[in-house]
Structure 1
Amino acid sequence: MNSRCASVSKLIPFSCVDGPGSRLALFLQGCNLRCKSCHNPWTIGCCNYCGECVPQCPHQALSFVDGRVIWNAGACQQCDTCLHLCPQQATPMAQTMSVEEVLAHMRKARFFIEGITVSGGEATTQLPFLLALFSAIKADPQLRQLTCLVDSNGLLSETGWEKLLPLCDGAMIDLKAWSSECHLALTGRDNAPIKRSILLLADSGKLAELRLLVIPGQVDYLEHIEPLAAFISQLGEVPVRLNAFHAHGVYGEAKTWPGATPEEVNQLAAALRARGVKKLIFPALYL
């Protein structure tokens, strides 16, 4: 796949939950974390064309042609059978999109959106495409006023951020646990590079939002509240979004985890506020 094309899980022309205002949200396929709490688990892997999903589709929307799985959007009933069967945690519905195709969608929506947010999966795993897309937006007279945001897990290297930040208006980063041990258990990866990314983005004035996901009995924010609050205080006036875990859409053991209640979110908020962290955003809803 060349740098002007990406594997795309979904494109939403108008979203009000993927950054400030109404935004076009582009979800890229593939992630370098394996979060147990992921609410889009079928975006983690990439299709390897094993074909296991093809005979299982109840609507015959999938076929196997020349070694590739082909999705027929017209026949698909969005039953998600293929998503739950896939051993790769991928989707046969992912489509290859070019920079030009994304720009065409943005031009149609440009009077009704404030910008684009590229999410995933993990957007930065397809960094060459991201650079090409944001460069094209900034160079386009019809689109250059729109903001370019990335919703990221923060695993991108410093070298990668140095390439992306001149073209990006901001990044929203999740810190899924404070200790490396807890983060490793929840995501399969250490969080030291994520903390470095958060600090780099804050120093660059490009950290649009820090996100904490409250998962009762699983996360260690309260256990390490002093270093967590001190870390957040270093970031300046960055909004901290408190998200409440719910089991809708997750796979595996996380399906049995209880959702976070307003009381549990408020407990973390009170502990942060008591230590000087004031700019908090609360969940819009609890499930």
Structure 2
Amino acid sequence: MNTPRATVSKLLPFSCVDGPGNRLVLFLQGCNFACLTCHNPHTMALCTHCGDCIPACPTGALELRAGRVEFDPALCTQCDDCLRACPINANPMVREMSLPEVLDVLRENLPFLDGITVSGGEATTQLKFLVALFAAVKYAPDLAHLSCLVDSNGYLGPGGWARLLPVVDGVMLDIKALDAETHRRLTGQDNARVLDSARLLHAAGKLQEIRFLVIPGVTDTEAEIVALTEFLHELDPAPRLRLNAFQAHGVRPPAAVWPTASRDGMEAVAQRLSDLGVMRIETPTVYL
């Protein structure tokens, strides 16, 4: 039987912003959305080994071998020039990690960890690995105390959630917009499956929080705020709502020239939601 493997864009051994406590965070490569506001656009696509990134690398950390782009981390200076050169939003610096390799990293850092969060890209596009990883954590006596969370765009269907729910402790779900057309413009996909996922996860007791990106002039409108409120009231008791402030730093055109969300603007959105009866709201503590 083959050991499940993951295509990993980045691994953070410690993070305190990707769920409660100190967490190991695994960013998987590949996404089924194409969000205009993505701060990690290089996690969207899988490398096609076209080689366009190789001339952009100033240190020779990339080369084409037998038709594949090979990456030497020892020569890399993390300048990210290769990411900017990629024509399809891929990452030539990804690494393939087996399930035992990820578990080894967990164990190396175990004294400092409260859990593991898998993000992306979109974590559920590598569902087989995700389920195997969380199951391994749950059934390993030395790891079973760790909580297993997923940061997701919610596009996974009911069959996929049925496989994941028995081994996941919670899902942090992004809702990009309540209006279907706005959501489609921002992500390239409709939001019906996202909202259905929120309902399913809430009913299963696995909806850790809903995350909503406040984009000035796009998702901070009265219509969006009212629609978000109505949807949250549908989920009884309402989950925690985390408001994230859009920042243009790191995003690509056309969103790169959009206005950033200000502290005053975020507080106004939070106050309007509160006035409409939304109780559990978290806003950023730091603004770029």
Q: TM-score range by the shorter chain?
A: over 0.9
Shift of 1:225: 2.8
**Number of matched pairs:** 286
Distance in 1 between the 2:15 and 2:200 partners? 28
Query: Equivalent residue of 1:55, what SS?
Result: coil
Q: Which amino acid aligns with 2:35?
A: C
Shift of 1:158: 0.6
Structure-2 residue corresponding to 1:244: 245
Query: Equivalent residue of 1:266, what SS?
Result: helix
Query: Equivalent residue of 2:73, what SS?
Result: coil
Residue 91, structure 1, aligned to residue 118, structure 2: no
> Stretches of 4+ moved more than 4 A in 1?
none
CA separation of 1:206 and 1:3: change in aligned 2, threshold 3 A: farther
Aligned CA RMSD, in angstroms, stands at: 1.1
Structure-1 residue corresponding to 2:269: 268
Report if aligned partners of 2:210, 2:239 keep a CA contact under 8 Å in 1.
yes
Ranges in structure 2 where 5+ consecutive residues have no aligned partner: none
Shift of 1:55: 2.1
Residue 164, structure 1, aligned to residue 171, structure 2: no
Structure-2 residue corresponding to 1:259: 260
Distance in 2 between the 1:255 and 1:13 partners? 30
Structure-2 residue corresponding to 1:140: 140
CA separation of 1:266 and 1:248: change in aligned 2, threshold 3 A: same
Cα shift readout 1:133-180 (whole Å, capped 9, x = no counterpart): 111111111101100000000000011001100100000001111100
Distance in 2 between the 1:227 and 1:183 partners? 13
Distance in 2 between the 1:55 and 1:270 partners? 50
Query: Equivalent residue of 2:74, what SS?
Result: coil
Q: Which amino acid aligns with 2:273?
A: L
Report if aligned partners of 2:28, 2:43 keep a CA contact under 8 Å in 1.
yes
Cα shift readout 1:197-255 (whole Å, capped 9, x = no counterpart): 00111111100010011111222553233332121122224110011011111111111
Q: Which amino acid aligns with 1:8?
A: V
TM-score by length of 2: 0.97
Structure-2 residue corresponding to 1:189: 189
Shift of 1:272: 1.1
Residue 233, structure 1, aligned to residue 233, structure 2: yes
Shift of 1:3: 6.3
Query: Equivalent residue of 2:254, what SS?
Result: helix
Report if aligned partners of 1:10, 1:28 keep a CA contact under 8 Å in 2.
yes
Distance in 2 between the 1:81 and 1:199 partners? 41
TM-score by length of 1: 0.97
Q: Which amino acid aligns with 2:92?
A: P
Report if aligned partners of 1:179, 1:220 keep a CA contact under 8 Å in 2.
no
